[in-house]
Structure 1
């Protein structure tokens, strides 16, 4: 079941990345409600104490994401995805987000140098961080 959830999250991230790049807008259903329903269903069908730990990590991510949203030009969907990631991959979500931030820095320095206050798609970086964290850890 664990791998199924990881693949489902990866599909959500890829679809969200495409929407974020193309429209700079991602549906709340895609980023939050559908994954939360899948988590709830998996918890009911396969009760596991690890889910509780992942929920606690997600709560911490909520707080960090809100702070991150306040000080950057990151959008709300990006923060929602950062909140959902720990539910699928646990602590590795922190690595995925760290990788995403590190990989996005050159993009910010080169592309956004011309447009200082322009929002940019961050979900593709989160997707890349997610994939790399799965293979790394």
Structure 2
């Protein structure tokens, strides 16, 4: 399941870079359905912890929407990531934010208030967090 989400993230990254638009099906609906099917077929005791982390991500995503220039698809991915990789999602998002800072500084220096693709950074953070432990 983890690698299926990675495929969705890579496709979403390409769409985010190329069009600055990502389908809600790729970022939220299909991954959520896969998670529900997975937990029905293979119940996991960690689901409660993952749901709590996902709820925390809802709150953080709302703050990201208010404070930064990231889009709704980025926030949906940040909400879904804990359901796939648990606590490592927090590391993935932290990695994404840290790695994106130089890019943000360059883009915001040239074009103030310009949106930039954040999903590729989330994908990189996702990949690095998988191999962190």
TM-score band, normalised by shorter chain: over 0.9
So what's the TM-score if we normalise by structure 2?
0.98
Deviation above 6 Å: which 4+ runs of structure 1? none
Task: Give the CA RMSD over aligned residues.
Answer: 0.7
Please point out which of 119, 126, 130 is paired with 2:115: 119
Equivalent residues in 2 for 1:1-137, closer than 5 Å: 5-137=1-133
CA offsets per residue over residues 15-57 of structure 1, 9 Å max, x none?
0000000010101111001011001001110111112211111
SS of the residue corresponding to residue 114 of structure 2 reads coil
Q: Count the aligned residue pairs.
A: 133
Asked if structure 1 preserves the Cα contact closer than 8 Å seen for 2:93 and 2:122, the reply is yes
What is the deviation of 1:135? Answer: 1.1
- What SS does structure 2 have at the residue aligned with 1:113? helix
Question: TM-score, normalized by length of structure 1?
Answer: 0.95
CA contact (8 A) 2:107 2:114 kept: no
Contact 2:92–2:129 (8 Å) recurs in 1: yes
Contact 2:28 2:80 in 1 (8 A): yes
1:112 deviation in Å?
2.3
CA shift, 1:111, in A, is 2.6
SS of the aligned residue for 1:49 comes to coil
Task: Give deviations 1:95-130, integer Å, cap 9, x for gaps.
Answer: 000000000000011232110110000000000001
Q: Return the alpha-carbon distance in structure 2 between the equivalents of residues 119 and 83 of structure 1.
A: 20
